[in-house]
Amino acid sequence: MLLQILTYPDPRLREIALPVKQFGDPLKKLAEDMLETMYHAKGIGLAAPQVGRLERFLVIDCRPKNEHGRYEIKEMTELEQKITQPLFMANPSIVERRGKTTFEEGCLSVPTYYETVERAQWVRVRYQDLEGQEQMLETDGLLAIVIQHEMDHLEGTLFIDRISFAASQKIKSQIQKYGYSRPTSQKETEKEPNKI
């Protein structure tokens, strides 16, 4: 079932999500709906608060695809290749982070806007799977960036809070003026795949 994706400045995107307590079938249903919603919106990650569910839960599938829709596993880092996607994470917490990297991020809740954001280059994350089993993973590459972006949503933080004041104000005032239907250039349209 397709869910509605909330967009900034919806106040529900600013709340702190609560721990997932129910695993198994109810969580699988949410996972399935979120995944369908994310693929439909051509996103590569989605956090439960973005669909109005204030729970600490994420779905991610950021495997690179070629123009024929085939996965390009070669483009992933060695650590990324070891992790099965789509990835479902309940109650994630970063237990270790290393290095710094930057990436031009977009967000399904701030559609059509993109800005360079700094994140840790490598992370080790503890989380629970759909059955409530404790899991641990370590990754770098795009997957590390997406995990950090999605985990921000659980704290009510958006990527526009992690950029310079001037860049953030520019995006916010454009949204105020045009909403999400401002005229976009060809260059911006080409960036579409990085909606996290």
Q: Please state the φ and ψ torsions of residue 110, each to the nearest 5 degrees.
A: -135, 60
Tell me the closest approach of the beta carbon of residue 44 to Zn ion, in angstroms: 10
Q: Segment near Zn ion (CB under 5 A), from 51-59, 70-78, 99-107, 163-171?
A: 99-107
Question: What letter represents residue 23's amino acid?
Answer: F
Tell me the closest approach of the beta carbon of residue 149 to Zn ion, in angstroms: 6
Beta strands in the chain (DSSP E): 45-47, 57-60, 87-105, 115-128, 134-139
Catalytic residue among 150, 155, 188, 192: 150
118 catalytic residue (yes or no): no
Q: Segment near Zn ion (CB under 5 A), from 52-60, 89-97, 101-109, 171-179?
A: 101-109
**What residues from 146 to 175 belong to the interface with Zn ion (CB under 5 A)?**
none
Tell me the closest approach of the beta carbon of residue 140 to Zn ion, in angstroms: 20
Q: Given the structure tokens 């999500």, which residue do they identify? A: 17
> Exposed (0-12), middle (13-18) or buried (19+): which is 177, by Cβ within 10 Å?
exposed
Which of 38, 59, 146, 196 touches Zn ion (CB under 5 A)?
196
Q: Where are the alpha helices (DSSP H) in the chain?
A: 25-40, 78-81, 141-154, 165-178, 186-190
Neighbours of 194 (CB within 10 A): 20
Rounded to the nearest 10°, the torsion over CA 84, 153, 101, 191 is: 80
Query: Is residue 17 near Zn ion by the rule CB under 5 A?
Result: no
Contact by Cβ (8 Å): 162, 118 = yes
Q: Segment near Zn ion (CB under 5 A), from 26-34, 100-108, 126-134, 172-180?
A: 100-108
Which of 13, 48, 107, 154 touches Zn ion (CB under 5 A)?
107
Active site residues: 150
For binding to Zn ion (CB under 5 A), which residues are involved?
107, 196
